[in-house]
């Protein structure tokens, strides 16, 4: 597609989104900036923008082949991608297979404990409120999305979990938990949007349980860049 970046539509903590000549498409530009704890901790992870862009596109393309509609259109270069213009549903959809992070803390579980069944959580995307946990009643009461759209999102999120878990097993990676965002096209279709990367997933080495994700930055564990490189290397064979 012959599209170029026009006016900046939005700048988030890890990405910028630009309008293009065509209102049906945006160009996303991934940054090396890293934040945690709702922006309280700030830093840079060298090469993160390129890795997250390429890993996201690789996984989005793989998910498309398995019947998940996504916003992916075309990778322009290592940090920039054309995506379908959609209206983001203001929910962070979190899927968990193993207890970690805020779930372990909230419910007093040991990090690494395998959950007896998959946990699905929704957080209301609102930085000022710190993205609070909400349930289907809150989502309806606040009008964040329709009942039908929530059912579609739930089905996709659980299916994506099955596909990704199975896929990552081949690379000796355990999918501990991850966060998804969905968008709505003008015709009402729900599609997977945003990113799937070491910023938004917990990836543990299946054998050593070494963390290969943003927790290395959040928790000052060191070897942050190395962990991001290890993920792209295992998925795409890149060095």
Residue 202 parent element (H or E): strand 201-205
Among 9, 19, 35, 43, binds ligand ASP (CB under 6 A): 35
Least distance CB 113 / ligand TMP (angstroms) = 13
Q: Which stretch binds ligand TMP (CB under 6 A): 98-106, 110-118, 146-154, 220-228?
A: 98-106
Please give the structure tokens belonging to residue 186.
């003008």
Kindly state whether residue 36 participates in binding ligand ASP, applying the rule CB under 6 A. yes
Helix (H) and strand (E) counts for the chain? 6, 14
- Could you give the CA distance from residue 206 to residue 39 in angstroms, rounded to a whole number? 30
Partner from ligand ASP, ligand TMP, none contacting 202, C-beta within 5 to 8 A by type: ligand TMP
Residue showing the smallest CB distance to ligand TMP in the complex: 101
Size (the chain), residues = 239
CB neighbour list of residue 139: distance below 8 Å, 6 or more residues apart: 91, 122, 124, 145, 150
- Could you give the CA distance from residue 202 to residue 200 in angstroms, rounded to a whole number? 7
Site track 170-209 with ligand TMP (rule: CB under 6 A), x = hit: -------xxx--------------------xxx-------
- Could you give the CA distance from residue 71 to residue 77 in angstroms, rounded to a whole number? 17
- Which of 76, 30, 23 shows the shortest CA–CA distance to 195? 30
Among 13, 159, 165, 234, binds ligand ASP (CB under 6 A): 13
User: Are the C-beta atoms of residues 98 and 166 closer than 8 Å to each other?
Assistant: no
Please give the structure tokens belonging to residue 206.
């299946």
Name which of residues 53 to 72 contact ligand ASP (CB under 6 A).
none
Partner from ligand ASP, ligand TMP, none contacting 35, C-beta within 5 to 8 A by type: ligand ASP
Please give the structure tokens belonging to residue 122.
């929704």
Least distance CB 102 / ligand TMP (angstroms) = 3
Partner from ligand TMP, ligand ASP, none contacting 16, C-beta within 5 to 8 A by type: none
Kindly state whether residue 14 participates in binding ligand TMP, applying the rule CB under 6 A. no
Kindly state whether residue 211 participates in binding ligand TMP, applying the rule CB under 6 A. no
Least distance CB 175 / ligand TMP (angstroms) = 9
**Residue carrying structure tokens 């199975």:** 166
End-to-end CA distance of the chain: 28
User: Are the C-beta atoms of residues 217 and 224 closer than 8 Å to each other?
Assistant: yes
Partner from ligand ASP, ligand TMP, none contacting 13, C-beta within 5 to 8 A by type: ligand ASP
Residues engaged in binding ligand TMP (CB under 6 A): 94, 100-103, 177-179, 200-202
Instruction: Provide the binding-site residues for ligand ASP, judged by CB under 6 A.
Output: 13, 35-36, 38-39, 214, 218
């Amino acid at each position: 597609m012959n599209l170029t970046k026009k006016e900046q539509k939005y700048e988030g903590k890890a990405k910028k989104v630009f309008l293009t000549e065509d209102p049906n498409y945006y160009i996303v530009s991934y940054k090396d900036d890293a934040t945690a704890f709702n922006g309280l901790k700030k830093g840079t992870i060298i090469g993160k923008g390129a890795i997250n862009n390429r890993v996201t596109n690789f996984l989005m393309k793989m998910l498309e082949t398995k019947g998940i509609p996504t916003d992916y259109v075309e990778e322009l270069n290592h940090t920039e991608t054309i995506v379908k213009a959609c209206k983001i549903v203001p929910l962070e959809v979190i899927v968990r297979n193993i207890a970690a992070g805020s779930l372990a803390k909230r419910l007093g579980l040991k990090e690494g404990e395998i959950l007896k069944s998959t946990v699905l959580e929704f957080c209301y995307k609102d930085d000022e409120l710190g993205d609070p946990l909400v349930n289907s009643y809150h989502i309806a009461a606040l009008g964040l999305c329709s009942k039908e759209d929530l059912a579609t999102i739930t089905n996709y999120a659980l299916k994506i979990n099955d596909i990704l878990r199975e896929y990552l097993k081949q690379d000796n990676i355990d999918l501990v938990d991850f966060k998804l965002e969905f968008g709505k096209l003008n015709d009402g279709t729900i599609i997977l949007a945003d990113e799937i990367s070491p910023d938004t997933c917990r990836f543990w080495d299946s054998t050593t349980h070494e963390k290969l994700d943003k927790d290395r930055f959040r928790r000052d564990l060191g070897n942050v860049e190395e962990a991001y490189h290890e993920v792209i290397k295992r998925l795409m064979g890149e060095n």
